[in-house]
Amino acid sequence: MTRRVLVVDDDIAVRDALGQTLDLADLVSTKAGSFIEAKDHISAEFDGVILSDIRMPGRDGFHLLGYTRDIDAELPVILLTGEGDIPMAVSAMGQGAFDFLEKPCAPKELLSVLERALKTRALVLENRRLKAQLEVGDPAARMIFGVSGLADGLRTRVRSVARINAEVLVTGARGVGISKVAEVIHLSSPLGKGPFGKHAASGLDAPRFDKAVADAKGGSLFLDEITSMPMETQFSLLGSMEQGDHPRLIFGSTADLAEAVEQGALHADLFYRLDAMQVRIPSLSERPEDIPVLFRQYVAQAGEQSGLTPPDITSDILADLMARDWPGNARALMSVAMRFVLGLNDNDPRPEGGLGLSEQMAQVERSLLQEALRRSQGRASTAAEALKLPRKTFYDKLAKHNLRPEDFR
């Protein structure tokens, strides 16, 4: 979340005192002594909020408020008024100020208003970013959520394979969203405006397969759990692939394809064709830092579907979710999000009594250690260096959380 505050006050002592209060709260302050100094920092892209005195020589706080609203009506401006100057405060709110505070104001009250304004600004900028992604037509950014390196890598891989008109195999554990990623590949490809056929390979006989191919012509055909396809249909599929007159073929599997070949469930020729271009979806346990992003998204979707206003998502809820292993992956997280929105407390993700700060910090620390080990492929020295920890401290923390580097190789 953005932490920037533009402080505008002609009194240098007040300006410095406000800046010190913000610095102690880990907020980034930019100070200006007048509207003229401040206006160069005000833009629609400004990733912060404005805290300004009303009474200033020359152009006052009301002028700054009006100027800001002309630039960006969603940029919060908090105005400082003199003690007892209620009419001026009412006028400020009427003109679109986010809030007003009387001088001198207690740091606790000031920081509370600023935090609320910063959260509002962060939400505005995030919504604009998502809208921009929609407008530029990047399905990978729009539909594959997450802030981790693994999520970025997945989006990059999807964009890359989408451009190549060849068969693609999407793999991953159950519940990771294989069919969704297959659709993103289709939408990101030159055939994205064509049809997207989606069929379970299990029990798909040759005539139904031929119809599915015809229906998806000019687009993409997704066949899920390819190792379950009847062998007769696999021969038809191979024949169609040899002829080349077929839609873009995307396959999905949660199974080990090499093992399926050994067991006679998958034709060897088909295995070699599918093994050439793969997209693997990482499990949630591999990227716990993405869980808060995904949970918020699923809660918003559940609220929209149910017509209910979702409850607040607190830090202890997120910490508990991040500590779980999630064998059911995204599908299980969606289910928890829906129950959370519906108020089904017996399945509420919040731990009984909530988590204390130490428990939350321990869970976050464990997640960071796991991510560092994954990125370094179990090389302890590399992981310790990435976390800027002395080797002994790093190993002490691994022992504390019962983590072993060899489990990540």
**Res 324: pLDDT:** 87
Is a pLDDT exceeding 80 seen at residue 376? yes
Radius of gyration of the chain (CA): 27
The neighbouring-strand residues paired with 48 are 4
User: In angstroms, rounded to a whole number, what is the distance separating the alpha carbons of residues 216 and 388?
Assistant: 52
Is a pLDDT exceeding 60 seen at residue 136? no
Q: Are strands 48-53 and 77-81 parallel, antiparallel or unpaired?
A: parallel
Is a pLDDT exceeding 80 seen at residue 113? yes
Residue at which a domain ends, from 280, 311, 328:
280
* Residues 11 and 126 occupy one common structural domain: yes
The number of folded domains in the chain is 3
Please tell me the number of Cα atoms within 13 Å of 238 on its side-chain side: 15
In whole angstroms, how far apart are CA 190 and each of 64, 140, 142, 166?
A: 48, 14, 17, 12
Q: State the Cα torsion 43-49-51-56 to the nearest 10°.
A: 10
Contact 24, 32 (CB under 8 A): no
* Residues 276 and 311 occupy one common structural domain: no
* Residues 203 and 119 occupy one common structural domain: no
Q: What is the pTM of this model?
A: 0.56
Residue at which a domain ends, from 103, 133, 163:
133
The separation between the first and the last C-alpha atoms of the chain, rounded to the nearest angstrom, is: 34
* Residues 305 and 189 occupy one common structural domain: no
Contact 287, 327 (CB under 8 A): no
* Residues 231 and 325 occupy one common structural domain: no
Contact 21, 13 (CB under 8 A): no
Residue at which a domain ends, from 280, 299, 332:
280
Residues 349-375, mean pLDDT to the nearest whole number: 66
* Residues 41 and 166 occupy one common structural domain: no
- Kindly write down the DSSP assignment for every residue of 265-302, as one continuous string: SS-HHHHHHHTTSEEEPPPGGG-GGGHHHHHHHHHHHH
- Kindly report the average pLDDT of the chain as a whole number: 87
- CATH code for the domain of 68: 3.40.50.2300
Higher pLDDT, 251 or 372: 251
Residue 133 pLDDT grade (very low, low, confident, very high; cuts 50, 70, 90): low
Q: Could you say which DSSP state residue 325 is in? A: -
User: In angstroms, rounded to a whole number, what is the distance separating the alpha carbons of residues 92 and 97?
Assistant: 6
User: In angstroms, rounded to a whole number, what is the distance separating the alpha carbons of residues 25 and 196?
Assistant: 51
Using alpha carbons only, give the angle 381, 384, 389 rounded to the nearest 5 degrees. 135
> How many helices (H) and strands (E) in the chain?
18, 10
Q: Does the N-terminal peptide bond of residue 107 adopt cis geometry, omega within 30 degrees of 0?
A: no
* Residues 110 and 41 occupy one common structural domain: yes
Burial (0-12, 13-18, 19+ Cβ within 10 Å), 288: buried
* Residues 233 and 311 occupy one common structural domain: no
Residue-number span of the structural domain to which 17 is assigned: 4-133
**Res 213: pLDDT:** 95
Q: Hey, how many other C-beta atoms are within 10 angstroms of the C-beta on 215?
A: 13
CB neighbour list of residue 404: distance below 8 Å, 6 or more residues apart: 398
Candidate from 24-33, 100-109, 178-187, 216-225 with smallest mean pLDDT:
100-109
* Residues 207 and 338 occupy one common structural domain: no
The neighbouring-strand residues paired with 78 are 51, 99
* Residues 124 and 153 occupy one common structural domain: no
Candidate from 40-49, 362-371, 394-403 with smallest mean pLDDT:
362-371
Please tell me the number of Cα atoms within 13 Å of 244 on its side-chain side: 1
Residue 186 pLDDT grade (very low, low, confident, very high; cuts 50, 70, 90): very high
User: In angstroms, rounded to a whole number, what is the distance separating the alpha carbons of residues 319 and 327?
Assistant: 17
Is a pLDDT exceeding 90 seen at residue 339? no
* Residues 43 and 78 occupy one common structural domain: yes
Residues 98-123, mean pLDDT to the nearest whole number: 89
- CATH code for the domain of 234: 3.40.50.300
Is a pLDDT exceeding 90 seen at residue 399? no
Residue 92 pLDDT grade (very low, low, confident, very high; cuts 50, 70, 90): confident
Residues 339-347, mean pLDDT to the nearest whole number: 70
Is a pLDDT exceeding 90 seen at residue 234? yes
The residue length of the chain stands at 409
* Residues 103 and 83 occupy one common structural domain: yes
Quick: pLDDT tens for 274-311.
Answer: 988 999 999 999 999 899 999 999 998 888 887 778 88
Residue 392 pLDDT grade (very low, low, confident, very high; cuts 50, 70, 90): confident
Which of 295, 285, 290, 286 is closest to 326 using CA atoms? 285
